[in-house]
Structure 1
Amino acid sequence: MKRKIILTADGSTTIHLPEWNEQYHSKHGAIQEAYHVFIKHGLHYFYHSVTERSGQEFENSNSNIAILEMGFGTGLNAFITLLEAKKLKIKIDYMGIEAFPVEIDEVLSLNYPKALNVKGGDAVFKGLHSISWEERHNIDSFFSLAKQKKYFETIDDEDKFNIIYFDAFGARVQPGLWTKVIFKKMYDALKVNGILVTYSAKGSVRRAMQGVGFKVEKLPGPPGKREMLRAVKY
């Protein structure tokens, strides 16, 4: 399938698939979307909710936050999560699932470290893609990464993750990834009080989540999108 690097509205790049008229991130702003959906309404929400429940700052606990990303793709979500881990001084164990890894020449064409003005960021970002698959690597004292090359359908983890970033291609082009079968796997993979966040707000997606036990709420979406979804496992 033909692929090309395009510039999004916030000055950051993404990969466009003309045949599907689909891209890895929003054309309205790749970085803006990632921060809004996965950091603000995912990581930050979980971090603050744990702080409220426990009565202590998360960084003062002995716990790591375990994150599963469904659709590792360009590595943008992992990269900004690494930056947030360092900023918040919290330890994160990150797992990225990807059946079709992005080629390294495409990685080198993406401008996320420059757009985010991260000193030394090019080497770190390239490293997220260059490390071996099926092993856990300590990228930083606050961030470890393991990547698994597999299909979503093969996920069989149970009670393992605090947060899931669900960042698959849209249901319009890959409807099989947005079904009750897949979301049951996501529900099982989360710990109690764990959350799943996604850019999608389709009614069929929300109903599939609710059908496996999630409590689902609609939230304001990122630029160019009215709504998004967050699902909680109680």
Structure 2
Amino acid sequence: MNNNWLKDQSRKVEIKVSADGSHTLFVPELDEHYHSVNGAYNESMHVFIEPALLFCQKTSVSILEIGLGTGLNAFLTALNQGEKNIFYHALEKYPIAPEAASQLNFAKAEAEQQLFTKLHELPWSEAAELRPGYTLLKDEADLTNITFDRPYDLVYFDAFAPEVQPEMWGEAIFQKIYNAMNNDGILTTYCAKGVVRRTMQAVGFTVERLPGPKGKREMLRAVKK
């Protein structure tokens, strides 16, 4: 395997195979995986695509992703776009290299592989068309210091776990996201910890627990009323 996974070589990652056969990445420094070892592909569908993208009834949708990572959530959003017009803004502090992304096995057909490759080859810091009706803006940025210039309808909150990145799960972060969302905007996350749910509620979200993906009892969906 090509070990040049990240553009920033100060952090190393390793490829792993999750329980559903799809790849995830492992960060030895953090002892943390990018996706669930119980099934990366299935987790993304269960946590972000089904309860957020497919649940949303809007035909024009602006999406913010906290943690582009492997690009799996952005990729599955494209595959499940339907008739929606999508603007997708993904933040990632540690981008993976396009040649490394080509080793990931999320695509199930040649056309899907071409789409996934294009996703990673599109330039950073500028909005570009991934496919008709889907504009992608990849930002090599940190949520803690970025300023948003548009409101969002959906937020995929896919940061590393609170034990690994506690600074990403505090009230200031969720207040910043809440302020950047449209009314009736939806945020989903795999994390269902009580302290996370209460923090979301403290900044104004209405939060519900949903059945979690394999290996997790619950997940959270928060709505800005």
Q: TM-score, normalised by structure 1?
A: 0.88
CA 1:218 to 1:159, structure 2 compared with 1: closer, same or farther past 3 Å? farther
Q: Residue 186 of structure 1: SS of its match in structure 2? A: helix
Which AA in structure 2 matches 1:12? S
Deviations 1:82-133 (CA, angstroms, capped at 9, x unpaired) = 0111xx22111111011110123331221001xxx23322222121111111
CA 1:118 to 1:189, structure 2 compared with 1: closer, same or farther past 3 Å? farther
- Correspondence for 1:67: 63
Task: Measure the CA separation in 1 of the matches of 2:29 and 2:56.
Answer: 37
- How far the C-alpha of 1:163 sits from its partner, in A, is 0.2
Task: Measure the CA separation in 1 of the matches of 2:115 and 2:55.
Answer: 26
- How far the C-alpha of 1:170 sits from its partner, in A, is 0.6
What are the within-5 Å matches in structure 2 for residues 138-157 of structure 1?
138-157=129-148
Correspondence for 2:43 among 33, 37, 42: 33
- How far the C-alpha of 1:230 sits from its partner, in A, is 0.6
- Correspondence for 1:104: 98
Task: Measure the CA separation in 2 of the matches of 1:155 and 1:203.
Answer: 27
What are the within-5 Å matches in structure 2 for residues 204-223 of structure 1?
204-223=195-214
CA 1:230 to 1:158, structure 2 compared with 1: closer, same or farther past 3 Å? farther
Matched, 1:76 2:67: no
- How far the C-alpha of 1:158 sits from its partner, in A, is 6.3
Q: Residue 195 of structure 1: SS of its match in structure 2? A: strand
Task: Measure the CA separation in 2 of the matches of 1:105 and 1:204.
Answer: 39
Deviates more, 1:154-163 or 1:200-209: 154-163
- Correspondence for 2:7: none
What are the within-5 Å matches in structure 2 for residues 155-194 of structure 1?
155-157=146-148, 160-194=151-185
Unaligned runs of 5+ in 2: 1-10
- Correspondence for 1:129: 120
Unaligned runs of 5+ in 1: 51-57, 59-63
Q: Is the 8 A contact 1:206 1:229 kept in 2?
A: yes
Percent of paired sites with the same residue: 44
CA 1:208 to 1:25, structure 2 compared with 1: closer, same or farther past 3 Å? same
Structure with the largest fraction of helix: 1
- Correspondence for 1:119: 110
What are the within-5 Å matches in structure 2 for residues 41-56 of structure 1?
41-47=51-57, 50=58
Q: TM-score, normalised by structure 2?
A: 0.92
Q: RMSD between aligned alpha carbons? A: 1.3
Deviations 1:68-93 (CA, angstroms, capped at 9, x unpaired) = 001011000000000111xx221111
- Correspondence for 2:84: 90
Q: What number of residue pairs does the alignment pair up?
A: 215
